[in-house]
Amino acid sequence: MSELTPITVARGDGIGPEIMDATLRVLQAAGARIAPEFIEIGQQQYLAGHSSGIAPEAWDSLRRTKVFLKAPITTPQGGGFKSLNVTIRKTLGLYANVRPCVSYAPFVRTLHPQMNLVIVRENEEDLYAGIEHRQTDEVYQCLKLITRPGCEKIVRYAFEYARRHGRKKVTCMTKDNIMKMTDGLFHRVFDEIAPQYPEIETEHLIIDIGAARLATRPERFDVIVTPNLYGDILSDIAAELTGSVGLAPSANIGDHVAMFEAIHGSAPDIAGKGIANPSGLLLAAVMMLVHIGQPAVAETVHNAWLRTIEDGVHTAELHGSLSIGRPFGSMDFADAVIERLGQRPEQLAAVRYTQADARGAAPTAAIQVKVQRRAPAVKTLVGVDVFVHAADVNPDALAGQLCALATPSLALQMITNRGVKVWPAGFPETFCTDHWRCRFVAPQGQAVTHADIVGLLQALTAGGVDVIKTENLCTFDGERGYALGQGQ
Ligand code: NAD
């Protein structure tokens, strides 16, 4: 018998303790060689003044065990509280969110019996950076940050996952017809990496049609890789399509630490009743067992669970014509899985995890993605976008004021409002807010200096212009590093 693997366990809020107890009971009965260390997270920690819902000492356990089995928590309403999940993902570098979504028809009712896909969602970037500002009376901003290393890691992870699991196709979804620079980078990196996996079919879909097709024909997808926000939305849609959000597990994978949890929340509406389905967390624990090198136990638990579902042992939210008896409670369901340890499903496809999975081909952690940082480009400053707060002003009047104040090294080229060009040659019909993006470039197109920009800002502010912020306009190795703006 090999040593016990320490894991960090949090029982969470709402239904969390019920489904965690049920899950741990199955793991123990199946002979999982784990040594749980319990930490406190969630509502009590938020209320105790820990703004991210986790006590400082809990991080020590996470950093020591590097494996986290987490029950859902309740996020308190109101300001001042940070998302625990976002904090853990970003602090511990859990860059890949892996969400398998599988149908178990006919035992779980679904319109999509053939569905078996995995969503690989980028987990650290995008609009989730939490960099938000109120800039004017009328305008609020959230920064969308997409990085080349972030794209390379997640796209490569998705292809490695597909290769090691015998998956045939990877679909990339972005909105790069609109966000040409940020989502465009994600798509470009996908196109760069795809040829290194010639045995895998690839496609790219714009996220709107991609989401529509996922909702109507999910069986056409295999692995989907996508930026953070789209992945967040798509993975809930996909889980719901399988018939129940209560069944779906997820893994959050980083180079050093991995976190495993159900995708659903703390379900306060049914908390304390002992009726919640522990399956999402149990299947997350199966992913964890593979991750920590116990594929045989993972296989035993997963196949027993499939057999349990097949035998009609169902919790309340799954109860239907193929269910036996009354709905099973969380613990009775766990006991039914335990009774079937060693059995395999007869109609649903049995799973197989091997030691090779654990060593080099694990669904999760054994995939190590290395990103080569590139040499810095030659960066040339060519202008500046000055964002201005001005109410009750028309674009021509604002342009007149700015042109009169501008310094010789930087001339006003255009003004946009919410991205629509309003000067020169704007349309009177365009609705304008109090937030103006004013682009200044060198009159002859020559390079400019930071001192030129500081000089311009001094002149504008001395003239009474309310400058909110600036964005430098640069070229990188001669390539434009900024959008031209709508209407151009
Ligand atoms: P939810 O997933 O908790 O519940 C949505 C619906 O699904 C409810 O009707 C619930 O009863 C049902 N449901 C969920 N899990 C179930 C299970 N295992 N068995 C049977 N039915 C189940 O979503 P919500 O109501 O939007 O959120 C409740 C709380 O959970 C909120 O505070 C939210 O912030 C939090 N939340 C936490 C996590 C997490 O910790 N990872 C994720 C999502 C939501």
pLDDT digits (tens, 9 = 90+) for 188-243: 999 999 999 999 999 999 999 999 999 999 999 999 999 999 999 999 999 999 98
pLDDT digits (tens, 9 = 90+) for 323-345: 999 999 999 999 999 999 999 99
pLDDT value of residue 377: 96
User: What spatial distance separates the first Cα and last Cα of the chain, rounded to whole Å?
Assistant: 69
Ligand 1 atom 36 nearest Cα: 265
Pocket test for ligand 1, best of 41, 236, 264, 277 (most atoms within 8 A of CB): 264
For the chain, what is the mean pLDDT?
Answer: 93
Domain 379-480 has CATH 3.20.20.220: no
Instruction: Judge whether 454 and 407 are in contact, CB under 8 Å.
Output: no
Could you tell me the pLDDT band of residue 362, with boundaries at 50, 70 and 90? very low
Residue 487 has pLDDT above 60, yes or no: no
The tokens describing 48, both together, are: 């105790």
pLDDT value of residue 369: 85
Could you tell me the pLDDT band of residue 129, with boundaries at 50, 70 and 90? confident
Compute the distance between CA of residue 219 and CA of residue 413 in angstroms, rounded to an integer.
50
Residue range(s) occupied by CATH 3.30.70.1570 in the chain? 379-480
C-alpha 487 to ligand 1 mean position (Å): 43
Could you tell me the pLDDT band of residue 361, with boundaries at 50, 70 and 90? very low
pLDDT value of residue 371: 87
pLDDT value of residue 209: 98
At residue 43, the 3 state secondary structure works out as: helix
Tell me the β-bridge partners of 479: 476
Instruction: Judge whether 299 and 352 are in contact, CB under 8 Å.
Output: yes
Cis omega (within 30 of 0) for bond into 327: no
C-alpha 268 to ligand 1 mean position (Å): 7
Identify the residues whose C-beta falls under 6 Å from ligand 1: 15, 19, 72-75, 85, 245-246, 261, 264-270, 276-277, 280, 317
C-alpha 236 to ligand 1 mean position (Å): 11
pLDDT value of residue 356: 59
Q: Which atom of ligand 1 is nearest to the CA of 279?
A: 18
Residue range(s) occupied by CATH 3.40.718.10 in the chain? 1-95+242-370, 111-235
C-alpha 134 to ligand 1 mean position (Å): 31
- The model's pTM: 0.91
pLDDT value of residue 364: 43
C-alpha 14 to ligand 1 mean position (Å): 9
Assign domain 111-235 one CATH number from 3.40.718.10, 3.40.50.300, 3.30.470.30, 3.40.50.720.
3.40.718.10
State the CATH class of domain 1-95+242-370: alpha beta
